[in-house]
Amino acid sequence: MTIEWLREIGFGILWLFAQPMLYLAILFTFWTGYIRIKKERSMFRHRVFPIGSEWTSTWLLGISYGLLLSVLLVMSGSMLTMEWLWLLTLVVAIVFLTNQVWLLSPVYTVGIVAITMWILNTFNVQMSGRLNEFVEVDLVLVSYILVALFAAEILLLLTSKRHLSFPELHKSQRGKSVGSHLVKRLLFVPAFVPVPSGALELSMFNWWPAFGLNEQFGLMLFPFVIGFSQRFRGHFSDIGARKVAKALSGLLVVLLIGSFGIYLFPQFTIYLVLIALVGRIVIQYGMYFIDREKQPIFTPKEDGIVIVGIMPNSPADEMGLVVGEKIEKIHDQPISNEQEFYEAMSEHRTFCKMAVQDLSGEVRFVQRALYEGEYHELGLIFVKETPKFTLRQEEIS
């Protein structure tokens, strides 16, 4: 029995490398990263974050959640067909082409698949060959997968960090330059999906299989891809992400309550999916308008210069500076704009001392020795009317 499980798990892991979703996710990483870096160079004349930063600090969460999801799928006797996974892959591939990461929410991707299944079943649409097998998957099971992956999206938001969001510059309605932060994160959830082909059995539970096509199954490691993207200018990015997560948690509670109901009344499953879709859209755009009503955080100040962004592993990062803090003085000289900042820095090329107002309003002092040319490469991003500066001379040449 143990040998059979080890063999099926081994074959399931090998199946991962046969999944188009894996290679599509890799290609999308380079494409969306290239587009982002191109925008960063246009705004700041240098790259801020490297390609692949959208996945930073998400791998442990994704793998851990994938293991949990695998156990739940097997224990509940849930089975998916290859054709169903192909349809989900097609939907995600179309979203990749749009480069709209926010559409990678499982509410949209799995929701579209569920609605497609419901339409085909309701109107008794006949399909030829193996295509007909994807509608044989239990629609209630699909809605449960949607809810489970939706919970992973909420965890992704709760683990968002301010220094991992992407700084941007915009023109306000009054024509002034303002800064914002784009929270754009991707989560890879590799889960062992039971499929109706294999030699495994799990008949020790009375309820098993609850959502199965038969009592024998095999395992396939399938990479679910989840994404979130939202821009904040009236909130710090981590605070804004947590507010969205709080609202989504309320929607999750509604969906969990509905999940008990559709197990008893499966004909209402489509309504649960629609509630998830409508609720997700309302929260997405509701937070957008709430954020726009607030005063922008990153605007030019008369008594200092606000830090909009910090390049990873830069001198500014090593000095412990934080996005949103305000630099008031350089070497005891008051500053109010970027030009004054670099003029003060150029007078002391081997040492940097700053008076910084932190997020609680307290003033602290940070200092660091500088090496040749480093005062031009501190890794700081500021709000300016016309962004023409560079932090890394070698990236321009």
pLDDT at 133: 67
391: confidence class by pLDDT, cuts 50, 70, 90? very low
- Contact 307/181 with Cβ under 8 angstroms? no
- At residue 388 the predicted structure's pLDDT band, cuts being 50, 70 and 90, is very low
- The rounded percent of the chain whose pLDDT value lies above 70 is 91
pLDDT at 130 over 70: no
Residue 176 has a pLDDT of: 77
C-alpha 273/C-alpha 144 separation (Å) is 10
Name which of 246, 260, 284 is nearest 155 in CA terms. 246
Residue 209: is the preceding peptide bond cis (ω within 30°)? yes
pLDDT, averaged across the chain: 89
Please report which confidence band the pLDDT of residue 89 belongs to, taking 50, 70 and 90 as the band edges.
Answer: very high
12: Cβ–Cβ under 8 A, 6 or more apart, which residues? 192, 218, 219, 220, 221
Whole-prediction pTM: 0.90
How many Cβ atoms are within 10 Å of 371's Cβ, its own excluded? 10
Question: Which residues are bridge partners to 189 per DSSP?
Answer: 224
Name the H helices within 159-236.
Answer: none
Give me the pLDDT at residue 394, please.
39
For residues 317 and 171, give the distance between their C-alpha atoms in angstroms, rounded to a whole number: 27
The stretch 331-349 carries a mean pLDDT of 83
Domain ranges in the chain?
Answer: 2-293, 305-396
Contacts of residue 206, defined as CB under 8 A and 6 or more positions apart, other chains included, come to none
What pLDDT shows up at residue 128?
Answer: 65
Q: What is the pLDDT of residues 169-197, one digit of tens each?
A: 988 777 778 999 999 999 999 999 999 87
Give residues with Cβ within 8 angstroms of 54, minimum separation 6. Answer: 29, 32, 33, 101, 184, 185, 186
**pLDDT 10s digits, 324-334:** 999 999 988 99
**Average pLDDT, integer, range 69-79:** 91
Give the pLDDT score at 180.
94
Only one residue has tokens 């008369």, namely 302
Please state the CATH superfamily assignment of the domain spanning residues 305-396 in this structure: PDZ domain (2.30.42.10)
Q: Given this model, what pLDDT does residue 221 score? A: 96
Q: Is 21 helix (H, G, I), strand (E, B) or coil?
A: helix
d(CA 241, CA 154): 9
Query: Stretch 305-327: mean pLDDT, rounded?
Result: 90
CB 323 within 8 A of CB 309: yes
